[in-house]
Amino acid sequence: MEPVVLHRKASIAHLFSLIRDRETEYPEFSTRLGVLGATVIAESLEYAPFKNLTIHTPLEPANVRRIIESDIVGIPILRAGLGMVEPFQRILPNASVYHIGLKRDEKTLEPDYYYDSLPDDLTGRTIFILDPMLATGGSAIAAAQLVAKRNPVKIVFCGIIGAPEGLSALSEAFPDMPIFLGALDDHLDETGYIRPGLGDAGDRLFGT
């Protein structure tokens, strides 16, 4: 499945000019990344479950399409995924949020699992994995594997910046997974950073 990468509208280009800039410090970085996150999440909602219904405006009946928020689950990958939770909850206040804790080993770049709050069963739920950075793809794949065991309807990935290497790895591991990104960057460097990227998303989001 082809990834969806946001169009270079002026508003998106503006936000990327800020989050990529090393002069943009915490907390402005977190605010700007959150706005980009909202845009990616909103775009990804074409995969959200919905129902058609008739409501009554103050003037007359109207046929509308409404997302079934309670069938949706957002799963941020700690820590940096937390930067996309606030926009997710603003758009879908009735969706549940569960967390997965993964930390990349700096040498091997393999994700080390340290936490999850997932329920045993996700039957009937549509999952949106939230993580700003798709680098080697190891964290997104590990998170999706944990989720897939719980029998969800669908798993969608929402990220801010992806590397071609991570995108290929994730699409190969989960060919049917819709992947939404704010930008697809040039490459992954030998230390596992996305180039040009934005540096360490977790550190910049939390001022560490």
Identified binder of ligand PRP from the candidate list 12, 67, 109, 118, rule CB under 6 A: 109
Contact 128, 67 (CB under 8 A): no
Could you tell me which stretch among 18-26, 36-44, 121-129, 200-208 binds ligand URA (CB under 6 A)?
A: 200-208
CA 6 to chain centre: 13
Report the candidate in 138, 193, 207 with the shortest Cα–Cα distance to residue 167: 138
Decide: is 179 part of the binding site for ligand PRP (CB under 6 A): no
CA-to-CA dists, residue 40 to 44, 104, 139, angstroms = 6, 24, 19
Identified binder of ligand PRP from the candidate list 127, 139, 152, 181, rule CB under 6 A: 139
Interacting positions 170-199 with ligand URA (CB under 6 A): 192-194, 197
Interacting positions 62-91 with ligand PRP (CB under 6 A): 77-80
Using the CB atoms, write b or e for 117-139: b if 16+ within 10 Å: ebeeebeebbbbbbbbbbbbbbb
Interacting positions 77-96 with ligand URA (CB under 6 A): 80
Which run of H or E residues covers position 133? Answer: strand 133-134
Q: Which does 131 bind (CB under 5 to 8 A by kind): ligand PRP, ligand URA, none?
A: ligand PRP
Decide: is 111 part of the binding site for ligand URA (CB under 6 A): no
Q: Which residue's CB is nearer to ligand PRP, number 109 or number 146?
A: 109
Could you tell me which stretch among 19-27, 52-60, 67-75, 127-135 binds ligand PRP (CB under 6 A)?
A: 127-135
In sign, the C-alpha dihedral spanning 16, 22, 25, 30 is: positive
Residue listed under structure tokens 């000019």: 17
Q: For 151, left (φ over 0), alpha (ψ -120 to 50), or beta?
A: left
Residues of this chain that interact with ligand URA (CB under 6 A) are 80, 133, 135, 192-194, 197, 200-202
Residues of this chain that interact with ligand PRP (CB under 6 A) are 77-80, 102-104, 109, 111, 131, 133-140, 166, 192, 201-202
